Amino acid sequence: MGRYPDGLTGEHFRHHHISPKGHGMGNGGWRSDWLKQLAVAMGYALTYIAMHPVSDGHWALRSGLRLSCLLVMPYRYWPALLLGEALPNAYEVWPCRDLYGLAFVSVRCIPPILLAMPIVAWCRRTMRLFPASHLVDMKVLMLCALTVTMIGTVYSYLAISFIHTASFRARPVMAVGYFIGNYIAILGTVPVVLMMKLDARAEGWMNQLHRVVSSRMAIDVALFVVPSIAVLSVVSLHGDNDMRQIARMAMFLPVAWFTLKYGWRAAVVGGALAVVSTCLTTESRPDPQILEAQAFIALAITCLMATGARISVQLRQDELKRREGIHLQRMARQGLRVAEQRRRQTSEALEYLAGSLYLTNSRLMQQLRRVVPSSDMDAYQRQLADTQQRVYALAESLHPVAWRDRGLPAALSQTIARALDEAGIAYRCVISGRGFARMSTSVLGAAYRSACEGVVLVTRRLACSRVSVMLRGGETRGKRWLVLRVEGC
């Protein structure tokens, strides 16, 4: 089976640009806009020409270039892209008029990008290929790629069907080769370009590059995906026929593992590596075995991209839940700190009020001694002392003085002991461990409140004559912890 004829690169299909804007003619004036149009046309034409030695029906890199440019370039530059492809395309095809005939040249002089433009525009306007500025609908993207590939296959096979030479005859297997070659080239280039474009819009090229290089995904690519594909490539080059076919088809396995771990971006990067390796290690000829391996890789990468998109959504939801959990924890800690601070302020205010009431009532009682009998004065003094004691008890319950002066151990040893002693219950407090001084006030406050609630719960449910509180603190791998146990007997 012979090679594809030179220049018959089945390239076909291009897509639209990312920005929903793009119908204006720029902001820099008439001359500046025309210079931009000229620069786009020249840049595209030079890249198109540079790809000629490596782009053919077996691996139609120009198809990936064409579709990528239509997807990322604004609409106002589409005429420049059309001109940038029409001129070099005609320049390459025109010398073939004597060899392949004018009918072939007439068809091939039509720029393939012209056939792709309506499909890309339809996918954007009707199918919402880009539902948001930083989102790509993978289902629509795959539909767009398949449609453009199909149109390009018909275009390429129609062109070679006009060739009437003794040494060449168009065969249906060539149409299959054009389809697979174009589609696999799109899979290896277009998703990568879109990923880079969308990420660059979100954070800039330099920030994106720094983030990618320092990410775990890049480490896994360098340490696992690339070596695995390289080993399979060596086997596909030097093994026997069966081993070659198995190695080519097995290239999707590291990509599958990579996709399951990181989502659609991993499918894009790993798929591009698998496509490049497959195309570089196979010959450019319409061989059924080669087409079978390429078709299998193309199908596997397509499925992995669709699966990766779903996995990315799940990973994104998990990340949002994790961040929400962290935010709620921060809010809870902040709420505890604020509540503890308010309790302390209220306790100090009540203590100050109790002291003021004591002074005021003492002066008042001195004045009343002159007119009130001594028997009534004793009752008034007991009521005033009881009121003052209740105010102090309320302040103590909000934030113990021992805690403010000597910390949590003093509060557990003295405040709870005083309350249980008034109820006739023996009390024992054991505090061990370390790290109490480095713990936040909110954590210590929660420990004190928990100890108080535990003592109340135990004394209510059991007829206790003795209560024991054991508190242990420590630090493990940089994480500080507390263990509280309350027992009654």
Question: 308 with 418, same domain?
Answer: no
Q: What is the C-alpha separation between 304 and 274, in angstroms, rounded? A: 12
How many Å apart are CA 19 and CA 332, to the nearest integer? 42
Which candidate, 321, 305, 270, 207, places its Cα nearest to that of 215?
207
Handedness of CA 199, 201, 202, 206 (dihedral sign): positive
- Tell me whether residue 401 is in a domain: no
Q: Which residue has the higher pLDDT, 305 or 393?
A: 305
Average pLDDT, the chain: 82
- Distance (Å) of CA 50 to CA 47, 98, 126: 5, 25, 34
Q: What is the CA radius of gyration of the chain?
A: 40
Give the residue from 292, 326, 360 where a domain finishes: 326
Lowest average pLDDT, out of 8-22, 50-64, 95-109, 299-313, goes to 8-22
Residue 488: its H or E element: strand 479-488
pTM comes to: 0.68
Residues 428-485: pLDDT tens digits? 888 887 766 677 777 777 787 788 888 888 888 777 788 888 888 888 887 788 888 8
Which range has the worst mean pLDDT, 21-35, 224-238, 323-337, 413-427?
A: 21-35
- The first and second tokens of residue 444, run together, are 């210590």
Model pLDDT, residue 201: 65
**Same domain as 411, residue 296:** no
Q: What is the Cα–Cα distance from 88 to 213, expressed in whole angstroms?
A: 37
Answer yes or no: is 344 within a domain. Answer: no
One domain, residues 115 and 234: yes
**Nearest Cα to 11, choosing from 241, 185, 223?**
185
Which of 301, 326, 351 corresponds to the end of one domain?
A: 326
Q: What percent of the chain has pLDDT over 70?
A: 89
The CB density around residue 275, as the number of other CB atoms within 10 Å, is: 25
Question: What is the pLDDT, as a whole number, of residue 204?
Answer: 62
DSSP code at position 470: E
Instruction: Give the pLDDT band (50/70/90) at residue 30.
Output: low
pLDDT grade for 142, boundaries at 50, 70 and 90: very high
Among residues 270, 304, 326, the one where a domain terminates is 326
Parallel/antiparallel/unpaired status of strands 466-476 and 479-488: antiparallel
Structure tokens at 251: 């290239």
* Domain shared by 58 and 178, yes or no: yes
Average pLDDT over residues 353-365: 78
Per-residue model confidence as pLDDT tens digits over 143-165: 999 999 999 999 999 998 888 87
The per-residue b/e assignment along 115-126, b for 16 or more CB within 10 angstroms, e otherwise, is bbbebbbebbee
- 59 and 181 co-located in one domain: yes
> If you average pLDDT over residues 264-281, what whole number do you get?
89
Q: How many domains does the chain have?
A: 2
CA 434 from chain centre, in angstroms, equals 40
Amino acid 29: pLDDT: 58
- pLDDT for 109: 92
| Strands 466-476 and 426-433, sheet pairing | parallel
pLDDT score, position 228: 92
Answer whether residue 381 is part of any domain.
no
Clarify whether residues 314 and 411 are in a common domain.
Answer: no
**Tokens 């075995």, residue?**
289
Residue 61 is predicted with a pLDDT of: 92
Give the pLDDT of residue 79. Answer: 94
Q: Are 252 and 304 a contacting pair, CB within 8 Å?
A: yes
Task: Output the pLDDT for position 1.
Answer: 37
Both tokens of 343, joined, read 């309790």
**Separation of alpha carbons 242 and 283, rounded Å:** 16
Q: Which residue has the higher pLDDT, 447 or 296?
A: 296
Domain, as residue range, for 438: 407-489
Give the pLDDT mean for 132-148. 88
Higher pLDDT, residue 103 or 433: 103
Nearest residue to 273 via CA among 221, 321, 329, 196: 221
Sequential DSSP letters for 384-395? HHHHHHHHHHHH
Pinpoint the alpha helices (H) of 241-287: 241-249, 252-262, 264-280
Q: pLDDT, tens digit, for every residue of 198-239? A: 877 666 667 767 777 777 888 888 899 999 999 998 988 887
Has residue 212 been placed in a domain?
Answer: yes
Same domain, 153 and 39: yes
Query: Tens digit of pLDDT for each residue in 335-349?
Result: 877 877 787 778 778
- Same domain for 318 and 435? no
Residue-level pLDDT at 437: 66
- Residue 377: which residues within 8 A CB-CB, separation 6 or more? 365, 368, 369
In a domain, 17, yes or no: no
**Can you give the pLDDT at residue 380?**
76
Residue 369 lies in a domain: no
Contact in structure between 230 and 282 (CB atoms under 8 Å): no
Q: Are residues 153 and 56 in the same domain?
A: yes
CA dihedral defined by 427, 433, 438, 440, rounded to 10 degrees?
A: -40
83 confidence band (pLDDT: 50, 70, 90):
very high
* Whether pLDDT at 13 is above 50: no
